[in-house]
């Protein structure tokens, strides 16, 4: 399927937001604060906030580190959310 430039721009904008929402949902489901998750993975709380809010697009290795610390799978970050 050929993607339009608009579709590509939308994916680049929306994907980090959707992954961030899922990251936040997973973190909260494990009763972790941003500070606690950051401490588990040696990342700053502000960086966790930026990931969760979609302000930065994480690398696949960063995502792998985060889900490993929360004892879940990468695919869990890509589940459709209700928003």
d(CA 6, CA 11): 9
Distance of CA 75 to the CA centre of its chain: 11
> Per-residue pLDDT tens for 12-67?
999 999 999 999 999 999 999 999 999 999 999 999 999 999 999 999 999 999 99
Q: Please state the pTM of the whole predicted model.
A: 0.88
d(CA 23, CA 29): 10
* Structural domains of the chain ordered from first start: 8-72 (1.10.260.40)
Whether the per-residue pLDDT at 81 is higher than 60: the answer is no
Task: Say what the pLDDT of residue 79 is.
Answer: 79
Residues in the chain: 83
Task: Say what the pLDDT of residue 78 is.
Answer: 86
**Residues 35, 45 contacting (CB under 8 angstroms):** yes
Whether the per-residue pLDDT at 83 is higher than 60: the answer is no
């Amino acid at each position: 399927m050929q993607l339009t430039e608009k579709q590509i721009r939308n994916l680049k904008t929306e994907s980090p937001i959707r992954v961030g929402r899922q990251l936040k949902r997973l973190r909260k489901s494990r009763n972790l604060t941003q500070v606690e998750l950051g401490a588990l993975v040696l990342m700053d709380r502000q960086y966790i906030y930026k990931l969760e809010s979609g302000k930065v697009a994480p690398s696949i290795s960063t995502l792998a580190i985060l889900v490993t610390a929360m004892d879940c799978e990468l695919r869990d970050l890509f589940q459709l959310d209700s928003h």
